[in-house]
Homo-oligomer: A and B are copies of this chain.
Amino acid sequence: MNFTSDNVHGVDDAILDALRDVNTGTARAYGYDDWSAAAEARLRDVFECDLAAFLVVTGTAANSLALAACCPPYGAVVCHAEAHITTDECGAPELFSGGAKLMGVGGAACKLTPAAVARMLEQMGRGEHEQRPSVLSISQATELGTTYAPDEIAALAAVARDRRMHVHMDGARFANACARLGGSPADLTWKSGVDVLSFGATKNGALGVEAVLFFDRTLAGDFVYLRKRTGQLVSKGRFLAAQMLAYLDDDRWLRNARHANAMADRLAAAVRALPGGRVRLPLPVEANAVFAIVPAALHAHLQAAGARYLVWPGAGPGTDTVADGEVFIRLLTSFRTTLEDVDAFTAAASAGAARR
Contact = CB atoms under 8 A, between A and B. Distances in A.
A324 interface: no
Given A88-B129, A128-B227, A233 B58 contact: yes
Interface string A81-98: 000000111111011101
A131 B91 contact: yes
B225 A90 contact: yes
Contact of A229 (B5, B26, B91): B91
A48 B219 CA distance: 36
Interface stretch (A7-15, A272-280, A284-292): A7-15
B236 A7 contact: yes
A52 interface: no
Contacts of A224: 127-128
Interface residues of A, number: 75
A74 interface: yes
Interface string A198-214: 00001100011000000
B11 A233 contact: no
B231 A231 contact: yes
Nearest to A63: B231
Contacts of A123: 313-314
Interface string A10-53: 11010010011011111111100000000000000000000000
A99 interface: yes
B91 A101 contact: yes
A124 to B, nearest CB: 9
Number of copies: 4
Nearest to A125: B313
Given A19-B19, A128-B233, A90 B74 contact: yes
A98 B96 contact: no
B225 A208 contact: no
A229 B73 contact: yes
Q: Looking at A65, A95, A231, A238, which has the most chain B CB atoms within 10 Å of its CB?
A: A231
Interface string A222-256: 10111111111111101100000000000000000
Contacts of A19: 11, 16, 19, 207
25 contacts: A5-B235, A7-B29, A7-B235, A10-B24, A10-B25, A10-B236, A11-B23, A11-B236, A57-B58, A57-B231, A60-B228, A72-B222, A73-B91, A73-B98, A74-B90, A74-B226, A89-B228, A89-B229, A91-B100, A92-B230, A94-B99, A128-B227, A128-B229, A129-B228, A132-B222
